[in-house]
Amino acid sequence: MAKDVWSICFMCTVRCPIQVQVVDDDVVWIQGNPHVPGLEGALCAKGSAGLALLHDPERPQYPMIRTGKRGAGQWRKASWEEALDYTAEKLKAVIAAHGPQSVVFGERTNLNTHISKTFMKALGSPNHFTHDALCKGSVNTAFRSLTGYTDAEMGIDYANTRYIVLYGRNIFESLEIRPINNLLDALEKGAKLVYIDPRVTVTATKADRYLMIRPGTDLALNYALIHTILREGLYDKEYVSRWVSGLEELKAFVEPYTPAWAAQETGIPAEVIVQIAREAAAAKPQVVFHYGYRGAHHVNEIYFRRSLIILNALLGSIEAKGGLIIKKGPKAAGRGDIGKYVNQEFPKITAPRFDGSGGTVFPLADASHGNPQRLAQAILSQDPYPIKAAIFNRIEPLQSIADSNQMRKALDTLDLIVAIDINFSEIAWFADVILPESIYLERADSLQLASGLKPQLFIRRQAVSPRYDTKPAWEILKRLADRLGIGSYLPYETIEDIWHFQLKDMGVSLSDFDAKGFVALSKDPILWDRKDGLKFKTESGKIELVSPLLEKAGFPSFPPYVPPARPPEGRYRLLVGRCAAHTHCSTQNNLYLNELVPENELWIHPQEAARLGVQDGAYVEVESAVGRGRLKAKVTEFIHPEAVFMLHGFGKTVPAQTRAYQKGASDAVLQENLSDMVGGSPAYEDTFITVRPAK
């Protein structure tokens, strides 16, 4: 029997709405939801490779309990009853001996995060954390310091922009389909794209202007852009006088940061800096200085992110058509909010977070996300208390957190490691119990609320029955909760129970999803009135350039510029990133995607390669202060001579992933565990490595 099922792709967390064609309980075709503007049937290579994941025999097929040493790959097959009983008993023992705060739960934010947060609160532990700080912690803090909104509450109106500047936002490879299609439309209508990166990426090749910046100096460039915009009076005076405070302090601060000064620092000619400032100002307010994603992750990340938001503020592009927009949720559309189990009464938790997020370590970081970056230190130092059990759901601490060797050492001291995963990831292989989740095509999940100019709800319905003995995470957590005596906090049995609970105040029913797989909560885009209707969530209701949030915590709003350290003689700054064929560290073993990009290579400039005796295509050994690796060299002029680059997520050590096993090197093994202590992000790009031809 043939049917079409509305779902949401999960080959990466962009979560494109999809239409899945099913014949006789098997998937025959996946395409983007044709009714969604900007998607219209499109899917990326990874999305199409969902088919290979579904049928992959190299994923966990049943619950497993470790029998040998950690990581040795000796397992026994267990029933779900047995594996859940085992996990619950171990958790109870840990809680009895060390208290509920000794249990941590990490996950990549997903549709069921309201359930896992509920699980942890009911357990009495403050230690639920997400990947968020690793991705954009400092962007989040920067936005809150200026506007009161988090980065998750901000978006970009790509379709209507006239001028967009991307700082290592390699949007055509590290992709999101809808934004790309919208941006392509804008470019066709004449919008200009400026791309800044020490490496020539696919996005660089599509730009009107590409600037090979010296790594880590984007902040100097931005101070010179701000200097020029203010000196030449190019800013949006009406917007700034109504919505921005602290302009005089900013003017005084950027005075010394001239384009000539920045040219020395960045390698970008002064006249080009001036031209960009003028071009951007001429397009205002339909301008975007892209504030986010990764790109330049350094210990002063927060100030770089603030400088980007300040540029947008000066050109009046915040809450402007073709600029940045404040995302609108159900309330702005006159609806009730989506139901979340986490909005209920829980027993009071007095222990602080293990990671000091919103506390003693990262006072300004968003405590609702926590910070995985501190996990290894917190375990090893037992500060602020012992951690004894960890549940990892859809997150890979051994590849997504810098310094894997330290992480392995720390995790090995725990009494219990649980992995809820769909792959034999490094962490699953190192765990004590693997609770295999059904993949997105085999399960339904909580509804997705997508806030934006037009808020919408999306649904992931189950397309086919599970190929193996796997379960959705919401069910795994419910069954675990029942065994721990906290099941009443998760009052559901089926996915329909969850959906009804989510929809109860929204004026939407399940059948509303039948026609198109989504429900629009507003007919028209909701933009607030720029004259009088903007609602910044700061105390003054304005964009606060001088930030009480920062200053009350003892951090300056405008610290003097400190140049990034130059690599010591014989070392290179390690830059990392993604490619279009892979998702972080998840897809390297996928049958199709592995064929497209089987391993990572080390990009190195020819002048440096010649000096080191490194040949294009030959193996090199790389080493940092904390780890080492081996991969092929790619000798290319397309990278700044101070830096080398590798794709993130390779260098697998799990033999069960036969296609990816030992291919390339892992960036996380090399990276030192450094952080921006103000913003909360890791400084992934402050590690220096040596390179030599492999023996």
Ligand X SMILES: Nc1nc2c(c(=O)[nH]1)N[C@H]1C(S)=C(S)[C@@H](COP(=O)(O)OP(=O)(O)OC[C@H]3O[C@@H](n4cnc5c(=O)[nH]c(N)nc54)[C@H](O)[C@@H]3O)O[C@H]1N2
3-state secondary structure 12-42: CCCCCEEEEEEECCEEEEEEECCCCCCCCCC
| Phi, psi dihedral angles at 475 (to 5 degrees) | -80, -40
Q: Whose Cβ is closer to ligand X: residue 30's or residue 422's?
A: 422
Question: Rule CB under 6 A: is residue 139 a binding residue for ligand X?
Answer: no
Residues 116-135 vs ligand X: string with x where CB under 6 A? ---------------x--xx
CB 649 within 8 A of CB 367: no
Q: Which does 170 bind (CB under 5 to 8 A by kind): ligand SF4, Mo ion, ligand X, none?
A: ligand X
Residues 300, 87: Cα–Cα separation, whole Å: 41
Interacting stretch for ligand X, rule CB under 6 A, among 97-105, 184-192, 214-222, 526-534? Answer: 214-222
Kindly tell me which residue out of 83, 177, 508, 633 binds ligand SF4, with binding defined by CB under 6 A: 177
Instruction: Show the beta-strand stretches assigned E in 549-671.
Output: 572-577, 601-604, 619-623, 628-635, 643-647
Calpha distance 110→533 (Å, rounded): 32
Using the rule CB under 6 A, give the single segment among 6-14, 89-97, 115-123, 482-490 that binds ligand SF4: 6-14
Work out how close the CB of 506 gets to ligand X at its nearest, in angstroms, rounded to a whole number: 25
Out of 20, 22, 43, 575, the residue judged to bind ligand SF4 by CB under 6 A: 43
**Quick one: what does residue 177 bind among Mo ion, ligand X, ligand SF4, none, with the CB cut-off 5 to 8 Å set by partner type?**
ligand SF4
Residue 218 CA to chain centroid, in angstroms?
21
Can you tell me the distance from the alpha carbon of 180 to that of 184, in angstroms, rounded to the nearest whole number?
Answer: 6
- Composition of the chain by helix, strand, coil, percent to 5: 30, 20, 50
Cβ 491 to ligand SF4 shortest distance, Å:
31
The CA-based diameter of the chain, rounded to the nearest angstrom, is: 71
Contact status: 486 vs ligand SF4 (CB under 6 A): no
Q: 78's torsion region: left (phi>0), alpha (psi -120 to 50) or beta?
A: beta
Q: How far is the CB of 577 from Mo ion (least distance, A)?
A: 11
Report which residue type is found at 472: P
16 binds, among Mo ion, ligand X, ligand SF4, none (CB under 5 to 8 A by kind): ligand SF4
| 225 makes contact with ligand X (CB under 6 A) | no
Residue 644: closest CA among 672, 676, 620? 620
Residue 667 interacts, among ligand X, ligand SF4, Mo ion, none and using kind-specific CB cut-offs from 5 to 8 Å, with ligand X
Convert residues 628-657 into a mask of x (bound to ligand X by CB under 6 A) and - (unbound). Answer: -----------------x--x---------
- Exposed / middle / buried, residue 1 (Cβ in 10 Å: 0-12, 13-18, 19+): exposed
In one-letter notation, the amino acid at residue 352 is P
Candidates 169-177, 302-310, 560-568, 658-666; binding stretch for ligand SF4 (CB under 6 A): 169-177
To Mo ion, the closest distance from the beta carbon of 298 in angstroms equals 16
Amino acid at 181: N
Q: Please state the closest distance from residue 459 (CB atom) to ligand SF4, in A.
A: 15
Which CB, 115 or 585, lies closer to ligand X? 585
Nearer to ligand SF4, 56 or 355 (CB): 56
Which member of 5, 22, 44, 146 binds ligand SF4 (CB under 6 A)? 44
Q: Does the protein bind ligand SF4 through residue 16 (CB under 6 A)?
A: yes
Residues 6+ apart with CB under 8 A from 621: 628, 629, 630, 691, 692, 693, 694, 695
CB-based closest residue to ligand X: 168
**What is the distance between the alpha carbons of residues 337 and 582, in angstroms, rounded to a whole number?**
35
Number of chain residues interacting with Mo ion (CB under 5 A) = 1
Collapse the DSSP code of 364 into the 3-class scheme (helix H, G, I; strand E, B; otherwise coil) and give the result: coil
> Which residue has the closest beta carbon to ligand SF4?
47
- Residue 112 CB, shortest distance to ligand SF4, in Å, is 17
Residues 207, 228 contacting (CB under 8 angstroms): no
Query: Which ranges constitute the DSSP H helices of 331-374?
Result: none
Nearer to ligand SF4, 43 or 54 (CB): 43
Binding residue (CB under 6 A) for ligand X from 244, 280, 299, 395: 395
Which of 486, 684, 687, 688 touches ligand X by CB under 6 A?
A: 684
Residue 437 CB, shortest distance to ligand X, in Å, is 4
In 580-682 the beta strands, taken as DSSP E runs, fall at 601-604, 619-623, 628-635, 643-647
575 scored as a contact of ligand X (CB under 6 A): yes
Q: Is 168 in the site for ligand X (CB under 6 A)?
A: yes
Q: What is the smallest separation between the CB atom of 494 and Mo ion, expressed in angstroms?
A: 32
Tell me the number of residues near ligand SF4 by CB under 6 A: 13
Q: Are 207 and 193 in contact (CB under 8 A)?
A: yes
Contact predicate 564/216, CB 8 Å = yes
Q: How far apart are CA 410 and CA 387, in angstroms?
A: 10
What are residue 41's phi and psi, to 5 degrees? 95, -15
Helices and strands in the chain: count of H runs, count of E runs: 23, 27
Does position 135 interact with Mo ion (CB under 5 A)? The reply is yes
- Determine, following the binding rule CB under 5 A, whether residue 375 of this chain makes contact with Mo ion: no
- The answer for residues whose C-beta is within 8 angstroms of residue 494's C-beta and 6 or more apart is none
Instruction: Assess 620 for contact with ligand X (CB under 6 A).
Output: no
What is the phi/psi pair of residue 222, to 5°?
Answer: -65, -40
Q: Which stretch binds Mo ion (CB under 5 A): 135-143, 152-160, 163-171, 594-602?
A: 135-143
Establish if 46 lies at the interface with ligand SF4 (CB under 6 A).
yes
- Rounded to the nearest whole angstrom, what is the least distance from the CB of residue 362 to Mo ion in the complex? 18
Query: Would you tell me how many other CB atoms lie within 10 Å of the CB of residue 213?
Result: 22
Question: Are the C-beta atoms of residues 33 and 395 closer than 8 Å to each other?
Answer: no
Tokens representing 195?
């791309």
Q: What is the DSSP letter of 338?
A: P
- The vertex-122 CA angle with 118 and 128, nearest 5°, equals 55
The residue among 136 and 573 lying less far from Mo ion, judged by its C-beta, is: 136
Q: Which is nearer to ligand SF4, 45 or 398 (CB)?
A: 45
Site for ligand X in 397-456 (CB under 6 A): 400, 402, 420-423, 425, 437, 439-440
How big is the site for ligand X, counted in residues (CB under 6 A)?
59
Q: Judged by CB under 6 A, which of 118, 586, 588, 673 binds ligand X?
A: 586
Confirm or reject binding of residue 9 to ligand SF4 (CB under 6 A). Answer: yes
- Torsion angle (degrees, nearest 10) of CA 334, 339, 343, 346: 160
3-state secondary structure of 377: helix
Asked whether 447 and 469 are in contact (CB, 8 A), the reply is no
**Site track for ligand SF4 across 394-433, x = CB under 6 A:** ----------------------------------------
Q: Least distance from C-beta 175 to Mo ion, angstroms? A: 12
Interface with ligand X in residues 190-209 (CB under 6 A): 196-199, 201
Binding residues vs Mo ion (CB under 5 A)? 135
Binding residues vs ligand X (CB under 6 A)? 10, 12, 108, 131, 134-135, 167-171, 174-176, 196-199, 201, 213, 215-216, 218, 293-296, 393-396, 400, 402, 420-423, 425, 437, 439-440, 473, 575-578, 580, 582-586, 645, 648, 667-668, 671, 684-685
Binding residues vs ligand SF4 (CB under 6 A)? 9, 11-12, 14-16, 43-44, 46-47, 175-177
